[in-house]
Structure formats: C-alpha cells, structure tokens
Structure 1
Amino acid sequence: MLQVLYSGQTRELELSGTRRELLAFGQLLRGKAGSCDLSENRHPLPYERSLSEIAFREDPERDTASIVTEDRILRIQGGREALNLLADNIEDFASEADANDHCHVDSPTYDCIAPESDSLVIAFMR
C-alpha cells in the first residue's frame, strides 16, 4: 500500500510504494476524481507524520496541478493536462528508476505544478 510522509517544517512530501503501486496510482490519477487510503508509518523519520489518504480531482478551470496537504489528506487537483503530466512522471519513475532512486516534483522544476504546492518526492518503499 502507498504511503505519504509529510514535513510541516519544509512542506515536503514523500510518496512511496512498490513499482506496481506507483504505476497503479499513476493510472488512477488519469480519472476525473478519486481517492486512495494510505499505509500508516508510525516512525516517519526524517518526516514528522504519515498521511492517511490521497484525494484528487480534475478541475477544468486550472492549467496547473496543486499538491497540498490538508490535515492528514494529500489533495491533488488540476487541469487534465497537468494531472496527466504528473501521472506520466510517477509512471516513468516507477518503470525506469533504480530501487534507491527518488524523483522531485515541484513548482520550480515543473511548469505543470502550481506555485502553492508542497514539494513532492517520489520514492520506492523502504
């Protein structure tokens, strides 16, 4: 099961799972709306806490994707093209990365990510 860890101090998130789980999540993001429960990590170091859910929805009024933590939920919303680009990044990482690799997805690096977004790191489950 996927897990998302969060640091309030740095506003950084780590989305991790197996290759298969990350690929499935990328496909899920291609829908209009959805959610998935997350695995809880009781020792999330170096992060502060573990989130319990990812909720996403397409918003045709937006050109970018917003990735924001609200309480224990990771909320992703954005235009279809931006959500597809995010899904592509997750799927490409899951398909091609080495087991110890990670990938940063954030506003300064990707034009499809809204500036108000939390910084997202994609990694394989440790």
Structure 2
Amino acid sequence: MLQVLYSGETRELALSGARPELLALAHLLRGKAGRCDLSENRHPFPYERSLSEIAFREDPESDTASIVAEEKILRIQGGRKALGLLADNLEGFASEADASDHWHVDSPTYEYIAPESDPLVIAFTKWAERARVG
C-alpha cells in the first residue's frame, strides 16, 4: 500500500509504494477527482508524521499542479494538462526506474508543478521490491 510521510521542518513529502501501486496512482490522477487511502506508519522517523489519504481533483482554472500536505491529507489539484504530465512522469518512473531510484517532484524543476507545492520525493517501498525480486 502507498505511504506518504511529511516533515514539517522542511515541508518535504516522501511517497513510497510498490510498482503496481505507483502505476495505479498514475492512472487515478488521469481522472477528474478521487481519493486513495494510505498505509500509516506509526514510527515515521526521520519524518514527523504519516499521512492517511491522497485526495486529488482537476481545477480547470489552473495551468499547474499543486501538491500540498494539509493535516493528514496529501492534496493534489491542478489543470488537466498538468495532472496529465504528472501522471505520465509517475507512470514512466514506476515502469522504468531501478528499485533503488527515487524521483524529486518540485518547482522549478518541473514547470507544471506550482511554486507553492511542497517538495515531493517518490521512491519504491523497499520491502515490496525485495519481495518482487526474491
């Protein structure tokens, strides 16, 4: 199951999951709106807390995608083109990256990510990848 950890000090988010879970999230992001539950981590060290849900929606007035942690929810919203680019890149990462790779999703690295977004790092869940290989 997907997991998102949050650091209040740096505002960094860490999203992790197995390949199929990351691919499913990319597919969900292609819709107009949706939610998915997250696996909560009771000991999120070195992060402060574990989030419980991802909620996303299309905002036809926006040209970018905003990624922000609010309480226990990771909120993703933006224009269709920006959400589509995020979904495309997530799908590419989940399909092709090595199990030890990670992907930094932030502004200004990606023009389609809103400047007010929290920095996000996406990686594979270590135990899930070991189980897949073994």
Deviation readout 1:62-97 (Å, 9 max, x if unpaired): 000000111000000000000011111111110011
1:100 equivalent in alignment to 2:93: no
Relative to the length of structure 1, the TM-score reads 0.98
Deviation readout 1:74-124 (Å, 9 max, x if unpaired): 000000000011111111110011111100000120000000000010100
Aligned-residue identity in percent: 81
* Higher strand fraction (1 or 2): 1
Residue type of the alignment partner of 2:28: L
Name the CA distance, whole Å, in 1 between partners of 2:47 and 2:82: 27
Residue type of the alignment partner of 2:46: P
Q: Secondary structure at the match of 1:118?
A: coil
Matches within 5 A, 1:3-42: 3-42=3-42
Alpha-carbon distance, 1:7 to partner = 0.5
Relative to the length of structure 2, the TM-score reads 0.92
Residue type of the alignment partner of 1:8: G
1:43 equivalent in alignment to 2:47: no
Alpha-carbon distance, 1:25 to partner = 0.4
Matches within 5 A, 1:64-103: 64-103=64-103
Name the CA distance, whole Å, in 1 between partners of 2:44 and 2:99: 19
Counterpart for residue 63 of structure 1: 63
| Structure 1 residue ranges, 4+ long, deviating more than 4 angstroms after superposition | none
Name the CA distance, whole Å, in 1 between partners of 2:47 and 2:88: 26
For the pair shown, which has the larger CA radius of gyration, 1 or 2? Answer: 2
Alpha-carbon distance, 1:11 to partner = 0.7
